[in-house]
Chains A and B, each alone.
Chain A
């Protein structure tokens, strides 16, 4: 279980730089995420959704408040909270297999054991036959499959995904969403998934968290009632379309609330 309570974060401009003011990225954010729940974070840019994710990962410090994962306060990164990066973050000099096994390598798992496990995951994400390839030899979608396999390899309790399909083209993105649904059915994890796409946010999530910007706050939480396992076909269901309309309304009201402020400044 992830418990985010009263979390705030302010970024201060570097000393000596004029014309910039401290930015309140997050202001009193509260969110509880259950075990094996899939939560998507969505909102306009600058709403702090990536900051929140990085805080759960332990990559960004918390100014105020606390984040607890399974009762333990987050003080730094841990493989128990594995991450999937937007730009993949694969080691370009290492084979697919070694990239996938990297977390286990750091842990000191014997080579044969970790490669066996990695081979299994490479197959699960649909990359069998590419074990020895270098990242540069793979397409964007395939690279992110490696990123997902690497995260699953350390058997984390939480999977953090930072716009993982943001760098992919539309077709590949859609395919990867279905892939992720398929993989998640096999390996249920608690997932926090940051995205820009409303469709993606609805299709994947148990709950969709809509955040507002300046300062970053939680604006609305939508529970998605689509039955699982899901597929693309669910996008035409009444539930999907209604949820999408509601989320759009919320987003629009956020925009409207913000418009006068922008003009005024």
Chain B
């Protein structure tokens, strides 16, 4: 999740494999339902080739492994999957976790929105104007590689024990991948398209809004996906370290009370938030880049 622009490139199928990721296996051959055995066989084939089938197999396998390891070793800080689910159900029913969830998601949404807008603006300026790139480059790379946690006290002292300290941390966690991807995206826009716009009378702001940004959008969205993953991390770390609200704060409380099931239950919710958030970005990506042929996704 936390890898640089290279991953984003390969996610788009731009660099290593031009043919892109393999699409789902073609649907099963049609069999005449003349015998029961054949019908079952055909159903089995269809299930096995369904989208996400192997994801499911791997997920079930992993959870099973977790359960077995936890039951065999019986360590106090490694609760079994089933007991974590029990605890989660308890927390959901008591309404405790839903409040946390909504506060955390609000932090995430705010932080990511700031990072996305600011990241695209800064990245576009850097990608388009060499002077701005030269001036900002050292900061972007320094801050991207610096351990973000170190900055927690700074935000804490600026914003106090408030939501905005967490939001700021989320922004810092997620903005740099977005910037770096946007810079690459803007730089790799087909020069001839920009020239074409000039020939037909486009001014600089028109070249940016009508050519550069739409052409760069696929790569920018790849950066958004990575950025969202990092934003979730930032949200948890912020809530753990600043510990005022949300899932992180609750999980911290459980940890202090030696409630391992509780900690893992919150973790499950966090994973769910992360998956849902990246899925959301993916959906937006598909929507805004609908023109891209499947082979380039």
CA–CA, A58 and B198, complex, Å: 9
Interface residues on A, range: 20 to 34
Interface of A is mostly: loop
Could you say which of A4-12, A75-83, A168-176, A245-253 contacts chain B?
A: A75-83
- Minimal Cβ-Cβ distance residue in A for B196: A89
A105 to B211, CA, bound (A): 13
Interface residues in A31-84 (C-beta closer than 8 Å to B): 57-59, 76-79, 81-83
Residues from chain B with Cβ under 8 Å of A134 in the complex: 291
* B293 close to chain A: CB less than 8 A: yes
Q: State the CA gap A179–B274 with chains docked (Å).
A: 55
A-chain residues with CB within 8 Å of residue B197 when the two chains form the complex: 102, 106
Complex contact B202–A57 (CB within 8 A): no
| B199 in contact (CB, < 8 A) | yes
Given contacts A59-B195, A83-B196, A134-B291, contact A91 B201 (CB under 8 A): no
Closest approach, in angstroms, between the C-beta of A50 and any C-beta of chain B? 12
Chain B residues near A77 (CB, 8 Å)?
195, 198-199, 201
B228 to chain A, nearest CB (A): 23
Is A85 a contact partner of B201 (Cβ separation < 8 A)? no
A76 to B198, CA, bound (A): 9
Interface string of A79-101 (1 = CB under 8 A from B): 10111010101011110000000
| Contact call A106/B202, Cβ cutoff below 8 A | yes
Asked if A123 CB lies within 8 Å of chain B CBs, one says no
CA of A59 to CA of B206, assembled, Å: 17
Are A82 and B199 interface neighbours, CB within 8 A?
A: yes
**Does B192 lie at the interface of the complex (its beta carbon under 8 Å from any beta carbon of A)?**
yes
Residues of chain A having any CB pair with chain B under 8 Å: 57-59, 76-79, 81-83, 85, 87, 89, 91-94, 102-103, 105-107, 134, 136, 150, 154
8 closest residue pairs by CB, A with B:
A103-B200, A89-B196, A93-B291, A79-B201, A77-B198, A83-B199, A77-B199, A89-B192
